[in-house]
Amino acid sequence: MRFIIATHNPHKLEELRRILRPLGVDAVCDRDLGLSLTEAEETGATFAENAYLKAAAACRESGLPAVADDSGLCVDALSGAPGVYSARYAEPGQRKATLLHRMEQVPEAQRGAHFTSAVCCVFPNGDTVTAEGHCYGRIARACRGEGGFGYDPIFEVEGGKTFAELTDAEKDAVSHRGAALRKFAGRLAEYLNTHKESISC
């Protein structure tokens, strides 16, 4: 199965490819096909709505089934911010520092947070397969770790390590995106099995 991944984020593309590969999905990006996908405007009020908008646009432009993820960090002490605005929370390169600054006076017991990932696949016939996953943890006092991307260095999971301190396999096992894609895998397999005659990808 060849699906196009609706992202221009190389880190997210690598992570999605790594998790989808065992499902038999040949995950390609627009550059692999000599295309340049339009950046879909993320006007949705939820992660699920934004994932659909991105996948639908990529499917329309490529003619292939398209998978998109919309994800973000929701911090309890900030009333769920940055949430769907995680990628636009501050100037590029300043997002982690901005969030840490706003959390400086927040005590340990109130530093809870969670990541959410909404995954959506849109097929050329208009059908969709969706899933959502979460990972609960807390905001660290400072950046730690060399791996991951985005807010990974400041998000601690059970055991005290940040996402950026985990190996790829360790992160995939506990992350919001890993959880969403595992659900997605089952739903996608079920969909494909019941649409063998009408779906070719």
Indicate the length of the chain as a whole number: 201
Q: Cα separation of 153 and 163, whole Å?
A: 6
Nearest Cα to Cα of residue 16 among 156, 114, 121, 144: 121
How far is CA 128 from its chain centroid? 17
**What's the number of CA atoms in the CB half-sphere (13 Å) around residue 103?**
30
**Which residue among the candidates 26, 30, 69, 70 is catalytic per the annotation?**
70
The reply to whether 70 belongs to the active site is yes
Centroid of chain to Cα 111: 22
**CB neighbour burial string for 165-179, b if at least 16 within 10 angstroms, e if fewer:** bbeeebbbebbbbbb
Residues with active-site annotation: 70
